[in-house]
Amino acid sequence: MNSLSSSVPRYNAQQGLVREQARRWLEQDVLVLDTEATGLGEQAQLIEVAVMTLGGRVLLDTLVRPTIAVPREATLIHGLTDADLAQAPRFPEVFARLWPLLQGRTVLAYGMPFDYRLLGYNAHLHGLALPPELERETPPVQLVDGTRLHCLMQLYAQFWQEPSLDSRNQDGWRRKALAMAARQQGIPVQETHRALPDCRLKAALVQALAGESPATWQAVQALAG
């Protein structure tokens, strides 16, 4: 799938573990989640959510009507306006459909901390709640109802392995935007920042990681230099 497939890269132990994880997820046909919101802050509200299996079966794809106006800067990213959301269901109705799909399952998101915080805040806003977390020291987030929430962005960074100077990246690897990660693996990128297209892009990225010879930062640097 990628432009480096003509050469067979060597993978280190961590990269090998990532590839094994991606293959297990494909075998298990785990879930992919994507959300769009009114912003990135602590009080952002959900305005779109999609869930699909890695195999491509769409389980949920819906707009969500927030209780606040969509800021212009958010519309510039995902294209959604107040008019688009005027007839959409409110969060409680969507949550009643969403959580039974996720409950007890392995769920992948790209930047999971944001999606997890977004769902938690919106649930609280409407007098609802996510199941409590089990105690944990490392990802994934595990909830008492058996739901496991994995961050594909973190996993991809650990595979791509481009060094980072950002102290927030405790593993030392630079995080990549979803579209950039996809392009690095030779995946065509068309529509982004909409829930279902981004779910499909994440599924393609997992398939690439599990494939014959996914590209790495080290291999790209070797070819360039």
The answer to whether residue 100 is domain-embedded is yes
Does residue 9 lie in a domain region? no
The average pLDDT across 127-143 equals: 88
Report pLDDT for 224.
Answer: 81
Band of residue 191 on the pLDDT scale cut at 50, 70, 90: confident
What is the reported pLDDT for 114?
Answer: 96
Domain that includes residue 121, residue range: 29-218
Supply the pLDDT for residue 202.
Answer: 98
Structure-token match 């990660």, residue found: 181
The CATH number of the domain where 66 resides is what?
Answer: 3.30.420.10
pLDDT in tens, 68-120: 999 999 999 999 999 999 999 999 999 999 999 999 999 999 999 999 999 99
Q: Render pLDDT for 200-223 as a digit per residue (tens, 0 to 9).
A: 999 999 999 999 999 999 998 888
Q: What is the mean pLDDT of the chain?
A: 93
Is 98 a member of any domain?
yes
> What pLDDT score was predicted for residue 3?
47
Separation CA 52–CA 185 (nearest Å): 21
Residue 188 covered by a domain: yes
Total count of domains within the chain: 1
